[in-house]
């Protein structure tokens, strides 16, 4: 590990701490209906949209109506995206003449982008038309992120609500999220990316002849516009197959920290938004602190493991110690401009948040290094997590922590003055456990059935790791992969003669949808249940939820649930590999 690698990480995190309260305060104003500067510019357009889609944006919805709107909006998005991806041969902006992928691959891709996951069995530059990337995938990058944020805001409203059952209006939250948060930041980020070298063109792929006379082709596309929202919305689906390892997606050391900053911006800011909306900023910082502890541990372990190098390298005789001018470490599947430090920072962020973008190959991480992304996913994506989903799952954990704390001191558990009763705890427990249950059940099925084994690339424990990671990632709506695992055999560019692996495609799709929408329903039900409750004033015996004691309690609950659930699976894969130098 180098001083440079650590300096980079510290500067990076300092910037995050600085922007969190600013963006958090801004978002609190957007969702409490205060006038923001952009509303003066786009207010007219906002009202035109409400008229166009025929909704009364001032009408508050109870939790059931809010949930129905979320589900119907997602269903409409699913159908439209499926239609777009199935009709590639008639698309405009298709300079390479691509056909559509097989139906089962499309089914997985559509479900994946709807659920803010962006798990990719396809390879962007050999499968997708520019039109699919823009009008199909980019749109879901925006709106699936917006849905997550809306649900988190609805939960906050439920926690603070003092009268009635209303959680706000989904359509208003959706439009405001897009117009006042996601789109303006994306426009700026996209242009900054282009200034650094990310491409943005609708032209043909390039053909060149190099100095030695060999010719080659270079895939092109409108990358920057998608790259911006891909990170900001914690989506993570790469324009190209190798995602942010591709120099056209992530050209410099600077973009390699700007992208993780975008990933963390909204999930971190939402803790501050929460603090502001509940009237105590310390509440938000307590959640931020718990997330930071887990983030720091993950980064340190991943960085150290990759600097040490892999058994395969050492067996081949490579010296992995960094020397002057040489990066050292495990550089299999890593780029020189990022090195082990930049890659560890990017990969920790992309799996702590539910982004799932990668700037290096996860399948080639060391055993211990690969355990970090798995552990990050295993927390249920609460280390900042996805936009919105990170906060709402973290708040479910907070309910459990308050409940356990209440049992320990023998008082009725309360969160911000509202009594937490059996109904809320049941819903919160279900909301938390449904994701690991889905992931583990799917992994077991995929390992037990020969139809699941055809997707595996590596032999030995790594084959298990690939399978486990695939379903863990899809269930947690992350989308990163041990990318040897496949659901799409594509012998030629343009999907000619290709076929999908139906088992992996459909099991993954079920996983994606169930582990996204079931928790959303439980969260909204908790919000509805809390919304109507009376607030009792805080007394001497009230357990505080904004001090270090609570942060430790919260971390303990997360660790307990995660460790008990996933430890056996982690032992079978990455831990075996970390403990042995044996090659498979």
Contact assessment for residue 166 and residue 65, using Cβ atoms and an 8 Å cutoff: no
- Return the number of the residue (74 or 477) whose C-beta is nearest another protein: 74
The DSSP code for 323 is B
From 58, 163, 209, 534, residue interacting with another protein (rule: CB under 8 A): 209
Return the closest-CA partner of residue 19 out of 288, 392, 354. Answer: 288
One character per residue 11-50, x = contact with another protein (rule: CB under 8 A) = x-------------------------------------x-
Dihedral angle, C-alpha 271, 277, 278, 284, nearest 10 °: 20
Beta carbon of residue 527, minimum distance to another protein (angstroms, whole number): 16
From 167, 365, 472, 555, residue interacting with another protein (rule: CB under 8 A): 365
From 248, 392, 517, 550, residue interacting with another protein (rule: CB under 8 A): 248
Beta carbon of residue 299, minimum distance to another protein (angstroms, whole number): 15
The residue whose two tokens read 């199935």 is: 86
Return the closest-CA partner of residue 374 out of 502, 244, 263, 461. Answer: 461
Beta carbon of residue 104, minimum distance to another protein (angstroms, whole number): 21
Beta carbon of residue 437, minimum distance to another protein (angstroms, whole number): 27
From 19, 38, 39, 196, residue interacting with another protein (rule: CB under 8 A): 196
C-alpha 338/C-alpha 5 separation (Å) is 10
Beta carbon of residue 318, minimum distance to another protein (angstroms, whole number): 6
Q: What are phi and psi of 207, to 5 degrees?
A: -120, 135
Report the site for another protein in 217-246 (rule: CB under 8 A): 217-220, 222, 224-226, 240-242, 245-246
Strand partners, 110: none
Burial (0-12, 13-18, 19+ Cβ within 10 Å), 115:
buried
By three-state DSSP, how is residue 149 classified? helix
Structure token digits, residue 185: 């930041």
From 13, 165, 253, 433, residue interacting with another protein (rule: CB under 8 A): 253
* Number of amino acids touching another protein (CB under 8 A): 138
Q: Is 547 in the site for another protein (CB under 8 A)?
A: no
Beta carbon of residue 379, minimum distance to another protein (angstroms, whole number): 23
From 17, 37, 202, 535, residue interacting with another protein (rule: CB under 8 A): 202
Q: Where are the beta strands (DSSP E) in 126-271?
A: 206-209, 215-218
- Return the number of the residue (48 or 547) whose C-beta is nearest another protein: 48
Beta carbon of residue 271, minimum distance to another protein (angstroms, whole number): 25
- Return the number of the residue (100 or 172) whose C-beta is nearest another protein: 172
b/e burial code for range 81-101 (CB count within 10 A of at least 16 → b)? bbebbeebeebeebebebebb
Beta carbon of residue 443, minimum distance to another protein (angstroms, whole number): 17
- Return the number of the residue (117 or 225) whose C-beta is nearest another protein: 225
One character per residue 372-411, x = contact with another protein (rule: CB under 8 A) = ----------------------------------------
Contact assessment for residue 108 and residue 476, using Cβ atoms and an 8 Å cutoff: no
């Amino acid at each position: 590990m180098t001083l440079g690698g650590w300096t980079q990480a510290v500067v990076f995190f300092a910037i995050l701490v600085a922007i969190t309260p600013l963006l958090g305060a801004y978002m609190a104003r957007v969702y409490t209906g205060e006038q923001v500067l952009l509303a003066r510019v786009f207010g007219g357009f906002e009202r035109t949209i409400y008229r166009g889609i025929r909704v009364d944006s001032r009408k508050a919805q109870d939790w059931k109506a809010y949930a129905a709107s979320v589900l119907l909006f997602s269903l409409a998005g699913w159908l439209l995206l499926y239609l777009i991806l199935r009709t590639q041969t008639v698309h405009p902006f298709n300079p390479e003449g691509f056909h559509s992928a097989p139906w089962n691959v499309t089914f997985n891709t559509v479900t994946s982008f709807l659920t803010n996951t962006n798990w990719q069995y396809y390879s962007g530059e050999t499968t997708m038309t520019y039109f699919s990337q823009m009008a199909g995938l980019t749109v879901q990058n925006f709106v699936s992120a917006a849905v997550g944020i809306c649900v988190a805001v609805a939960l906050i409203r439920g926690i603070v609500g003092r009268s009635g059952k209303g959680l706000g209006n989904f359509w208003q939250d959706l439009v405001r999220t897009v117009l006042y948060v996601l789109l303006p930041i994306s426009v700026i980020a996209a242009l900054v990316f282009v200034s650094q070298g990310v491409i943005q063109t609708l032209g043909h792929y390039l053909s060149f002849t190099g100095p030695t006379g060999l010719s080659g082709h270079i895939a092109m596309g409108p990358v920057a516009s998608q790259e911006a929202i891909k990170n900001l919305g914690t989506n993570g689906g790469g324009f190209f197959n190798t995602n942010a390892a591709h120099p056209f997606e992530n050209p410099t050391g600077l973009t390699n920290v700007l992208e993780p900053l975008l990933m963390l911006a909204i999930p971190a800011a939402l803790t501050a938004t929460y603090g502001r909306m509940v009237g105590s900023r310390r509440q938000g910082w307590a959640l931020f602190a718990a997330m930071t502890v887990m983030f720091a541990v993950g980064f340190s372990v991943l960085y150290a493991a990759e600097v040490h190098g892999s058994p395969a390298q050492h067996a081949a005789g490579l010296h992995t110690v960094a020397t002057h001018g040489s990066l050292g470490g495990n550089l299999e599947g890593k780029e020189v401009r990022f090195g082990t430090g930049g890659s560890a920072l990017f990969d920790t962020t992309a799996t702590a948040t539910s982004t799932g973008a990668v700037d290096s190959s996860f399948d080639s991480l060391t055993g211990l290094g690969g355990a970090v992304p798995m552990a990050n996913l295993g927390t249920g994506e609460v280390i900042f997590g996805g936009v919105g989903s990170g906060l709402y799952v973290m708040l479910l954990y907070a309910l459990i922590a308050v409940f356990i704390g209440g049992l320990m001191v023998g008082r009725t558990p309360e969160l911000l003055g509202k009594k937490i009763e059996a109904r809320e705890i049941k819903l919160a427990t279900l909301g938390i456990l449904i994701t690991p249950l889905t992931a583990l059940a799917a992994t077991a099925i995929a390992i037990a059935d020969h139809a699941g084994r055809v997707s595996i690339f590596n032999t030995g424990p790594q084959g298990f790791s690939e399978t486990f990671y695939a379903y863990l990632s899809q269930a947690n709506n992350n989308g990163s992969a041990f990318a040897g695992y496949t659901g799409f055999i594509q012998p030629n560019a343009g999907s000619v003669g290709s076929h999908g692996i139906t088992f992996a495609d459909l099991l993954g799709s079920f996983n994606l949808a169930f582990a996204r929408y079931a928790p959303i329903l439980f969260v909204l039900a908790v919000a509805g249940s809390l919304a109507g409750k009376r607030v009792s004033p805080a007394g001497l015996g009230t357990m505080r939820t904004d001090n270090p004691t609570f942060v430790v309690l919260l971390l303990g609950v997360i660790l307990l649930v995660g460790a008990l659930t996933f430890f056996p699976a982690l032992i079978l894969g990455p831990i075996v590999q970390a403990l042995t130098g044996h090659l498979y």
